[in-house]
Structure 1
Amino acid sequence: MNIFNTKLELKAFLAEQKERAKSIGFVPTMGALHQGHLSLVKRAKEKNDLVVVSIFVNPTQFDSNEDLKKYPQTLKNDKELLESVACDVLFVPSVEEIYDNNISSEKFNFDGLEHEMEGKFREGHFDGVGTIVKALLEIVMPNTAYFGKKDFQQLQIVKKLAEKYDLPVKIKGRPIYRENDGLAMSSRNARLTKEHREIAPFIYKTLKKAKKKFGAKNIEELTKWVKKQFKKEPLLELEYFTIADEKTLQTPKKIEAKKKYRAFIAVFAGDIRLIDNVGLK
């Protein structure tokens, strides 16, 4: 596995590969890798000649310095995991390498996608996401980039980013990778207390039940039902539950047969914030 810390070295290496007409798959991460990340790398391996993974904990997308400091950093283990799935290239830049001396976000207009759900609770978050993803895509210039659907809103925003900035890359979403008990895999799961880890699968169980009730209950009734379920679980605090159109991410006034909908949820387990979603039929 080739490891690079600077843009110049990585670009020079990738330029050689492109001259040989090699296709490049890209998986951007913030490290603390788990099987969900590895599933993206494996998919990229299947579909491309060369796979690049980046590990960069992006300061401009965190809500607080406290959360940034607590984000798990496990580079040694991450390298071993990537070698186990035959990753070709690892890019681990410093904050200075990406931002020079200006750690700030660009301002983006994602046609309103940024104001829904996460955008309502995490001001400026998607400006931070847009800034780093745009920078990384411009450095790597991959044929295809892969993102997990756990961050479905982020996935739609990255697709919009590629479209608006005319970036010559396909953005592919991949299914959510779950623990055996249903909890969506996340780097933050490692920070859950024993009690919170035991109750956390309740989030996905509730989403699955909501999926079954979708159609029989209207959106307002379903939202009330979900809120009621979480009131029974004192260890979990529901931040939001919403049903949205997959394309616009807006909550519809009425359900239309031809449109795709998804249920989204954000929950605090102690001070750890967990998100999840399921497609609805």
Structure 2
Amino acid sequence: MIRFDTIVSLRQHLNTLRQHHTIGLIPTMGALHEGHITLIEKAKQENDVVVSSIFVNPVQFNNADDLARYPRTLEEDCQKLEAVGCDIVFTPSVHEMYPEPVALRLNFGELETIMEGAFRPGHFNGVGIVVAKLFNIIQPDRAYFGQKDLQQVAVIRRLIRDLSFPVELVRCPTIRETDGLAMSSRNRNLTSSEREQAISLFQALTMARELLTEGYTPEQTKAAVTGFFNDRVSFRLEYVEIVNADTLQIAGEVLAPGQTAICLAAHLGKVRLIDNLVF
């Protein structure tokens, strides 16, 4: 595996490969877990060269404390990437990616007004900017993102469409711990007690899916999930929504198989957790 810290050196290396090799990109912010590894493995199956980036992107954080708490395990991450067969890792500094303050602003329409967009103003602007920069720098054929960040997937899909990036977006299933908790870099910040309680997110999603399957309306189901978390005082539910899994528009009824998504976000202690189920 080759590690690059600068845009110029990475571009020069990829220019020698691009003519005869397909390139798969997995953008990450580090603190890698098995979910990231499955993205690398999927990319290796479908591309000649696999590139992963590790960059904690300050532009997508609207909370300075959240940025400061985000786990940083760069050397351990590089070892994991090399072990799984990643070809190239891009580990730029903040100054390398943003030598000057970013003046550009991206607006993703209605995606900015619901769920993550409503509770994290400016977040998707930052996501869009860094992903657009990575697409421009690396020029991948395919880019791999996990379903756990379902709204982010929708944002990247719109970025690719509206800016005509020649990139295929590949959405990969959420990888879970044995008890159902979605793997996340933020899980490292949970205390042992909080980690035991965190399973409640998956339990709430499973309950919601069962209720919808039994014929409950989305509004009735959302009320049940809200009551579920009201009984768990360690949690502060931020939102629960039932949406179209592709467009993220609010769903008034259960859609065709694979098109309905239950999405939620909740605070547990100092950690903000998100999860979803598509069914």
State the TM-score, normalized to the length of structure 2.
0.96
Output the amino acid matched with 1:12.
Q
Match for residue 143 of structure 2?
Answer: 145
Q: CA deviation at 1:67?
A: 1.1
The amino acid that maps onto 1:100 is: P
Structure 2 Cα separation of the partners of residues 247 and 111 of structure 1: 15
CA shift, 1:247, in A, is 2.7
What is the deviation of 1:106? 2.7
> How far off is 1:91 after superposition?
0.3
Contact kept? 2:241, 2:250, Cα under 8 Å? yes
Query: Which residue number in structure 2 is paired with residue 204 of structure 1?
Result: 202
- Match in the other structure for 1:173: 171
In structure 2, the partner of 1:67 is 66
What does residue 158 of structure 1 align with? 156
3-state secondary structure, aligned to 1:278: strand
SS at match of 1:203: helix
Please state how far the C-alpha of 1:64 moved relative to its aligned partner.
1.5
Output one character per residue of 1:120-158: Cα deviation in whole Å (capped at 9) or x when no partner: 100010000000000011000000000000000000110
Aligned positions of 1:126-145 closer than 5 A = 126-145=124-143
Query: Residue type matched to 2:259 in 1?
Result: K
For 1:52, what is the secondary structure of its paired residue? strand
Seen in structure 2, the aligned counterparts of structure 1 residues 77 and 217 have a Cα distance that, compared at 3 Å, is same
Distance in 2 (CA, whole Å) between partners of 1:57 and 1:224 is 36
Aligned position for 1:260: 259
Over 3 Å counting, the alpha-carbon distance change for 1:57 and 1:105 in structure 2 is farther
2:75 match: 76
The AA in structure 2 aligned to 1:157 is V
**SS of match in other structure, 1:131:** helix
Quick check: 1:4 aligned with 2:4?
yes
Summarize the Cα distance change of 1:270–1:80 in structure 2 as closer, same or farther, 3 Å threshold.
same
Amino acid of the structure 1 residue aligned with 2:14: L
Rounded to whole Å, the distance in 1 between the matches of 2:254 and 2:153 is 23
**2:106 alignment partner in structure 1:** 108
Matched-pair identity in %: 42
For the residue of structure 2 that corresponds to 1:214, the secondary structure is helix
CA contact (8 A) 1:105 1:131 kept: no
Q: Offset at 1:105?
A: 6.0
1:15 aligns to what?
15
Partner amino acid for 1:210?
A
1:224 is aligned to 223
* Matched letter for residue 116 of structure 2: E
Q: Secondary structure at the match of 1:18?
A: coil
Count of residue correspondences: 278
Match of 1:49 in 2: 48
Pairwise CA distance, 1:256: 4.7
CA distance in 2, matches of 1:252, 1:211: 14
1:43, 1:219 → 2: CA distance?
Answer: 34
Contact 1:148 1:174 in 2 (8 A): yes
Q: TM-score w.r.t. structure 1 length? A: 0.96
For the residue of structure 1 that corresponds to 2:17, the secondary structure is helix
